[in-house]
């Protein structure tokens, strides 16, 4: 089978013929029908800001496809089943797994990070990673439902606990933020203020349902969010950037009793406001990491019923042979892509 192999940061992925892996006990082999290019892939392959434990490795962790082969002892799946792939292979034994929080698993292996991913003709992995992909959801949408959409879904719904008629500010309108906006709109947010530094991203944010936009290059973001909310600030600020500056502004844009959820990851150290205002205003600062299997199922159900439009999130579809060009375009934000999906 063909696979896009990563050797070192800055080097193009090598499209190689490697042997397909026959599924062992409890495993399935999935023929890949779509795999999204995520920011994480760009951090690994182009920036080198995420280092991998072993190389070469096949990248790609946002995938959907069709069950091609099943190993011994796998129940509930058959050849030809449409599936989306849960990208964390959890140990199933640690306290996080026992509590149903597999994404926090102490021994998790992530596709395209710790083990071979899905920029390939097929992938072999534990059948516990398979999720049913509804007939009404195209493979390209199923591919991005896990990760790009579900990460935002968890941040808004579970960690942010957004209620209808609350006001929201979304910091960062890339692949995660755009879906944060779509989910906030679905939940009935009264107003959704989108913040970014790229005019293209802000335009896309309005298309996704943002009621107002703030260009962060124009200075004092929190002040402008306050002026848009009659001086009050927002109930919920969602940070999808992963920078100290945007976490600071997100906290400053909250009303009394407001919550700030950070889903952006990076090396920055952040500072709390002075305790007299942090405690005095009873603010919450929460982190949101990944998503659960249930989150992905819910997102796919919302997509299948048409309540969540994700077709518009697939900016482009490219063949595996053009993956390096796809990485370049995603990295340069050429044409402001939300997700470019690779179809082998
Ligand atoms: Zn990702
Ligand atoms: Zn575990």
Would you tell me the crossing angle of helices 199-208 and 175-186 to the nearest 10 degrees? 30
Q: How far, in Å, are 154, 324, 328 from residue 13 at the CA level?
A: 31, 6, 11
**All CATH 3.90.180.10 domain ranges in the chain, comma separated:** 2-149+291-343
Residue 95 alpha carbon to ligand 2 centre in Å: 7
Torsion, CA 198, CA 200, CA 205, CA 206, rounded to 10:
120
Q: What are the tokens at 321?
A: 């042979």
Give the model's pLDDT for residue 5: 98
State pLDDT tens for residues 270-299.
999 999 999 999 999 999 999 999 999 999
Q: How confident is the model at residue 344 (pLDDT cuts 50, 70, 90)?
A: very high
Nearest to 300 by CA among 82, 10, 30, 125: 82
State pLDDT tens for residues 16-39.
999 999 999 999 999 999 999 998
Residue 231 pLDDT > 90:
yes
Query: How large a percentage of the chain has pLDDT more than 70?
Result: 100
**All CATH 3.40.50.720 domain ranges in the chain, comma separated:** 161-287
Question: Residue 182 and residue 237: Cα distance in Å, rounded?
Answer: 15
Residue 86 alpha carbon to ligand 2 centre in Å: 14
Average pLDDT over residues 148-168: 97
Q: What is the pTM (predicted TM-score) of this model?
A: 0.93
Q: What is the DSSP string of 285-317?
A: EEE-----HHHHHHHHHHHHTTSS--GGGEEEE
**CATH 3.90.180.10, applies to 2-149+291-343:** yes
Residue 291 alpha carbon to ligand 2 centre in Å: 14
Give the model's pLDDT for residue 14: 98
- Mean pLDDT score across all residues of the chain: 95
Residue 267 pLDDT > 90:
no
Ligand closest to 40 (CA) is: 1
First CA to last CA across the chain, in angstroms? 10
Residue 193 pLDDT > 90:
yes
Q: Which fold has domain 161-287?
A: Rossmann fold (3.40.50)
Which 8-state DSSP code applies to residue 208? Answer: H
Average pLDDT over residues 252-258: 98
Residue 258 pLDDT > 90:
yes
Nearest to 4 by CA among 117, 124, 88, 110: 117
Which 8-state DSSP code applies to residue 13? Answer: P
Neighbour count for residue 216 (Cβ, 10 Å): 19
Residue 102 pLDDT > 90:
no
Give the model's pLDDT for residue 336: 83
Is residue 158 among the annotated active site residues? no
Average pLDDT over residues 227-236: 97
Give the model's pLDDT for residue 67: 98
Residue 13 pLDDT > 90:
yes
Strands 14-17 and 234-239: unpaired
Residue 146 pLDDT > 90:
no
Is residue 179 among the annotated active site residues? no
Residue 110 alpha carbon to ligand 2 centre in Å: 12
Instruction: Choose between 100 and 280: higher pLDDT.
Output: 280
Q: Which of 40, 140, 213, 229 is catalytic?
A: 40
Which 8-state DSSP code applies to residue 59? Answer: -
Residue 322 pLDDT > 90:
yes
Residue 335 pLDDT > 90:
no
Q: How confident is the model at residue 266 (pLDDT cuts 50, 70, 90)?
A: confident
């Amino acid at each position: 089978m063909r696979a896009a192999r990563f050797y070192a940061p800055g080097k193009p992925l090598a499209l190689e013929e490697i042997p397909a892996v026959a599924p062992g006990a409890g495993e399935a082999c999935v023929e890949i029908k779509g795999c999204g290019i995520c920011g994480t892939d760009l951090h690994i392959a182009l920036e080198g800001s995420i280092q991998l434990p072993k190389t070469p490795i096949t990248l790609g962790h946002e995938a959907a496809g069709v069950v091609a082969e099943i190993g011994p002892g796998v129940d509930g799946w058959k050849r030809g089943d449409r599936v989306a792939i849960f990208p964390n292979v959890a140990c199933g034994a640690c306290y996080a797994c026992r509590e149903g929080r597999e994404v926090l698993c102490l021994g998790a292996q992530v596709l395209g990070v710790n083990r071979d991913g899905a920029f390939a003709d097929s992938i072999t992995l534990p059948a516990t990673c398979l999720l049913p992909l509804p007939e009404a959801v195209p493979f390209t949408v199923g591919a991005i439902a896990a990760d790009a959409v579900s990460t935002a879904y968890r941040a808004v719904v579970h960690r942010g606990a957004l209620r209808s008629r609350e006001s929201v500010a979304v910091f960062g309108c890339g692949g995660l933020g755009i879906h944060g906006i779509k989910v906030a709109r679905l939940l009935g947010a009264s107003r959704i203020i989108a913040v970014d530094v790229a005019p293209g991203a802000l335009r896309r944010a309005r298309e996704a349902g943002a009621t107002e936009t703030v260009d962060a290059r124009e200075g004092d973001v929190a002040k402008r969010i306050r002026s848009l909310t009659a001086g009050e600030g927002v109930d919920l600020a969602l940070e999808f950037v992963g920078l100290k500056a945007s976490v600071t502004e997100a906290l400053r844009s909250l009303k009394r009793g407001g919550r700030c959820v950070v889903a952006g990851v990076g090396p920055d150290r952040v500072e709390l406001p002075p305790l007299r205002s942090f405690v005095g205003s009873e603010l919450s600062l929460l982190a949101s990491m990944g998503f659960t299997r249930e989150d992905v199922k819910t997102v796919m159900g919302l997509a299948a019923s048409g309540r969540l439009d994700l077709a518009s999130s697939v900016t482009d579809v490219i063949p595996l042979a053009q993956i390096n060009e796809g990485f370049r375009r995603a990295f340069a934000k050429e044409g402001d892509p939300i997700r470019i999906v690779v179809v082998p």
